[in-house]
């Protein structure tokens, strides 16, 4: 059996209460007017940086450091929280799918054989995010898969696109749609019957997460399965054009659902009995809900009507605990022996909290994409309901203060050894591209941090503050060489809604931190995966031998 018991740390005492604070989307970048975190008044965070040079540093939070295919890949919450919670770097979905496609292994698996049954007589549907953001999916993987299916006998193919504008530039959806349409036209020349059948923005259709708003998933289901949507067009290109004419400010991510109809007004690609369906996102969080709607026999989140008998596969298995979906094309990373599991075996009681839109990040994703808890008596997960139905720049404070107060009370109760939170603002407001709102969001984060640090002070505990990736620190597209902001023809700056490749800060401190503890100086390239060993040390234990090294040392 695996050895879960950890050795006591030779120098750090056990028994100190630890507050772990994850600032979502909070990176370090040129301190100019497009850096919302710099512009925001953040006295608490500023003070920590100024006064604790040995206990403040930067960490890599993107690319190879978090298991992505290359250092050109920006960080994201899934790979970031996986690394934070698991203390090791796992090759992530993006790369696993790339290699499965390249080697052709994807076509040999059980999942592919399953959908192949529909190739001769039925339709294969592809549902997913259409962009090259590389966070949830990648358009070149969809292209390869479409071709791979055609080469192996698929005759009729339908793509149900979700428009991005969040991991990629707002307004870029048209570019991806045009590229896909010309690929499908090529396939048609080769004799396939291949079309885009429906679409909509990712924040309005299908890609909700953590059960924040099921109506979003329902809208996708209605368009994709039933061919029902408020808008109907003769092509996806036309849909984008017309919907933009109706609302010129509409960002790709919020496009309403639409279906493509033929010359007599019939939807060209509803999902019917015996069809195959592939959700081609590799990332889990925003596909779990749709996967439930496609895969579960009993389902009560909305009325699916008569569920067609489909052969459904995910690009990956999105939840290894729930086995969801049952069939998939590529095996997900096997993220085992996470810090949370070690902690309960060593009698460390954990309280985790965030608001709905990030709740799974500090629980499900932190635990290696596992739903549920390792122990009901030793862990408590509390969710603060997020605002539903309004854009986050309309209420940029989000639930930061409520989360901080829950964390404060949890620490003060004395019941919990680790209290862990995620504050969403830098990320969720950053994704709207609204600079002023993001500034306000970051100010709320700073106030929330203050509340939690005060609570740490009262119990004589320790804090560890870090982030999962950059976002709010850069709200403008920059010239890659010079870093200069890019302006459009009218002189307005080009909004950056996506994450970044910037490093993130990590800070430790608090009365309970033993004298002499400081960051090692011999780990300049350290990243998020080094954090778990660090907090395991702060709980008074040596980290598991196979974890990335701890960031701290103790001077005598
Ligand atoms: C999203 O899903 O909102 C973005 O694509 C990525 O954001 P996250 O990685 O911060 O969740
Ligand atoms: Co984000």
23 and 56 fall within a common domain:
yes
Nearest CA-CA partner of 438 in 485, 381, 395: 395
What's the confidence (pLDDT) of residue 52? 87
Q: Are residues 113 and 203 in the same domain?
A: yes
Q: Measured in angstroms, how far is the CA atom of residue 395 from the centroid of ligand 1?
A: 18
User: CA 366, 458, 40: angle at the middle one, nearest 5?
Assistant: 65
Whether 205 and 286 share a structural domain? yes
412 domain-assigned:
yes
Q: Closest ligand 1 atom, CA of 468?
A: 10
- Provide mean pLDDT across the span 279-292: 98
Is residue 76 within 6 Å of ligand 1 at its C-beta? yes
Cβ of 77 less than 6 Å from ligand 1: yes
Residue 347 belongs to a domain: yes
Q: Could you read off the pLDDT of 419-452 as tens digits, one per residue?
A: 999 999 999 999 999 999 999 999 999 999 999 9
**Atom 4 in ligand 1: which residue has the minimum CA distance?**
167
Atom of ligand 1 nearest to the CA of 77: 9
CA angle 194, 195, 198 (to 5 degrees): 145
Q: Is 286 in the pocket of ligand 1 (CB under 6 A)?
A: yes
| Confidence label for 488 from pLDDT (cuts 50, 70 and 90) | confident
The pLDDT score that the predictor gives to residue 282 is 98
Distance 428 CA to ligand 2 centre (A): 6
Q: Is the CB of 166 under 6 A from ligand 1?
A: yes
Which ligand lies nearest the alpha carbon of 209?
1
Write down the pLDDT at residue 227. 98
Q: What is the pLDDT of residues 81-100, one digit of tens each?
A: 999 999 999 999 999 999 99
**Is 546 part of a structural domain of the chain?**
no
Given ligand 1 and candidates 167, 251, 428, which is best to mutate, with the most ligand atoms within 8 Å of its CB? Answer: 167
**Nearest residue CA, atom 6 of ligand 1?**
76
CA of 556 to the centre of ligand 2 (A): 41
Same structural domain for residues 393 and 495?
Answer: yes
Claim to verify: residue 167 and residue 262 sit in the same structural domain: yes
The reply to whether ligand 1 has any atom less than 6 angstroms from the CB of 427 is yes
Domain boundary among 312, 330, 348: 330
Residue 489 clears pLDDT 90, i.e. is over it = no
The pLDDT score that the predictor gives to residue 277 is 98
- Could you tell me if residue 48 is inside a domain? yes
341: tokens are: 């599991």
In this prediction, residues 471-476 reach a mean pLDDT of 98
Which of 132, 135, 205, 357 to mutate to test ligand 1, by most ligand atoms within 8 A of the CB atom?
A: 135
Residues 75, 165, single domain; the answer is: no
Which one of the ligands is nearest to 165 CA? 1
140 belongs to a structural domain: yes
Per-residue pLDDT, averaged over 497-512, amounts to: 98
The catalytic residue positions are 77
CATH number at residue 283: 3.40.1450.10
Indicate whether 394 and 255 sit together in one domain.
Answer: no
Domain residues for the domain of 524 are 18-91+335-529
What are the CA-CA distances from residue 513 to residues 56, 105, 554 (Å)? 14, 50, 10
The reply to whether ligand 1 has any atom less than 6 angstroms from the CB of 370 is no
Q: Which long-range contacts (C-beta less than 8 Å, at least 24 apart) are formed by 342-345?
A: 342/4, 342/6, 342/536, 342/544, 343/417, 343/418, 343/536, 343/539, 344/374, 344/375, 344/378, 344/379, 345/4, 345/5, 345/6
Ligand 1 atom closest to 24 (CA): 10
Q: What are phi and psi of 511, to 5 degrees?
A: -55, -30
| Domains contained in the chain, number | 2
Mean residue pLDDT of the chain comes to 97
Instruction: Give pTM, 2 decimals.
Output: 0.96
ipTM for the complex shown: 0.98
Kindly state whether residue 534 falls inside one of the protein's structural domains: no
Residues 128 and 259 in one domain: yes
- Using the predicted structure, report yes or no on whether residue 185 has a pLDDT greater than 90: yes
For 197-229, what is each residue's pLDDT tens digit? 999 999 999 999 999 999 999 999 999 999 999
Between the CA of 396 and the centroid of ligand 1 the distance, in Å, is 16
CATH of the domain at 412: 3.40.720.10
> Is residue 135 within 6 Å of ligand 1 at its C-beta?
yes
Residue 469 has pLDDT above 80, yes or no: yes
Mean pLDDT of 48-64: 96
For position 2, what pLDDT does the model report? 84
- pLDDT at residue 1 greater than cutoff 80: no
pLDDT digits (tens, 9 = 90+) for 3-41: 999 999 999 999 999 999 999 999 999 999 999 999 999
In a domain, 74, yes or no: yes
* Whether residue 376 sits in one domain with residue 265: no
- Residue 364 has a pLDDT of 96
Residue matched to tokens 């002070």: 457
Q: Are residues 250 and 359 in the same domain?
A: no
Q: Looking at the structure, tell me whether residues 195 and 275 fall in a common domain.
A: yes
Decide if pLDDT at 192 tops 90.
yes
Instruction: Say whether pLDDT at 480 is over 90.
Output: no
Q: Are residues 104 and 192 in the same domain?
A: yes
Domain assignment present for residue 539? The answer is no
């Amino acid at each position: 059996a695996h050895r879960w018991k950890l050795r006591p740390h030779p120098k750090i005492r056990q028994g100190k209460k630890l507050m772990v604070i994850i600032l979502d989307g909070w990176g370090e970048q040129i301190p100019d007017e497009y850096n919302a975190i710099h512009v925001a008044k953040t006295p608490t965070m500023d003070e920590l940086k100024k006064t604790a040079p040995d206990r403040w540093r930067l960490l890599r939070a993107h690319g190879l450091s978090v298991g992505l295919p290359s250092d050109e890949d920006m960080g994201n919450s899934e790979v970031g929280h996986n690394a934070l919670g698991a203390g090791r770097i796992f090759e992530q979905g993006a790369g696993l799918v790339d290699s499965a496609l390249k080697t052709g292994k994807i076509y040999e698996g059980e999942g592919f054989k399953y959908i192949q049954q529909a190739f001769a007589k039925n339709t294969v549907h592809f549902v997913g995010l259409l962009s090259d953001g590389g966070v949830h999916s990648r358009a070149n993987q969809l292209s390869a898969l479409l071709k791979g299916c055609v080469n192996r006998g698929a005759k009729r193919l339908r793509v149900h696109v979700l428009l991005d504008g969040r991991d990629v530039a707002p307004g870029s959806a048209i570019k991806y749609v045009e590229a896909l349409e010309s690929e499908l036209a090529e396939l048609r020349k080769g004799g396939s019957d291949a079309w885009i059948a429906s679409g909509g923005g990712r924040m309005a259709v299908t890609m909700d997460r953590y059960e924040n708003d099921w109506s979003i998933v329902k809208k996708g289901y209605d368009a994709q399965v039933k061919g029902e949507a408020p808008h109907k067009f003769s092509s996806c290109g036309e849909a984008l054009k017309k919907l933009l004419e109706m609302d010129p400010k509409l960002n790709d991510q919020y496009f309403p659902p639409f279906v493509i109809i033929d010359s007599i007004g019939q939807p060209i690609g509803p999902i019917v009995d015996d069809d195959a369906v592939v959700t081609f996102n590799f990332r889990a969080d925003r596909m779990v809900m749709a996967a439930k709607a496609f895969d579960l026999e009993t389902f009560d989140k909305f009325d699916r009507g008569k569920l067609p008998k489909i052969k459904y596969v995910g690009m990956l298995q999105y939840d290894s605990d729930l086995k969801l979906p049952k069939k998939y094309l590529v095996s997900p990373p096997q993220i085992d022996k996470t810090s949370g599991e070690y902690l309960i075996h060593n009698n460390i009681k954990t309280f985790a909290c965030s608001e709905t839109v990030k709740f799974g990040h500090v629980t499900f994703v932190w635990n290696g994409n596992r739903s549920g808890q390792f122990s009901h008596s030793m862990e408590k997960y509390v969710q603060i309901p997020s605002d539903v139905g309004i854009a986050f720049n309309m209420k940029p404070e989000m639930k930061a203060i409520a989360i901080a107060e829950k964390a404060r009370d949890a620490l003060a109760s004395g019941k919990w050894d680790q209290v862990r939170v995620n504050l969403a603002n830098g990320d969720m407001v950053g994704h709207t591209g609204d600079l002023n709102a993001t500034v306000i969001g970051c100010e709320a984060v700073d106030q929330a941090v203050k509340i939690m640090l005060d609570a740490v002070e009262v119990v004589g505990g320790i804090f560890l503050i870090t982030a999962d990736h950059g976002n709010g620190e850069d709200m403008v597209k920059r010239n890659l060489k010079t870093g200069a902001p890019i302006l459009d023809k009218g002189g307005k700056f080009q909004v950056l809604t996506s994450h970044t490749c910037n490093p993130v800060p990590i800070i430790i401190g608090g009365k309970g931190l033993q004298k002499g503890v400081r960051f090692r100086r011999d780990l300049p390239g350290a990243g998020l995966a080094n954090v778990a060993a660090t907090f395991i040390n702060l709980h008074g234990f040596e980290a598991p031998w196979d974890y990335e090294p701890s960031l701290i040392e103790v001077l005598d």
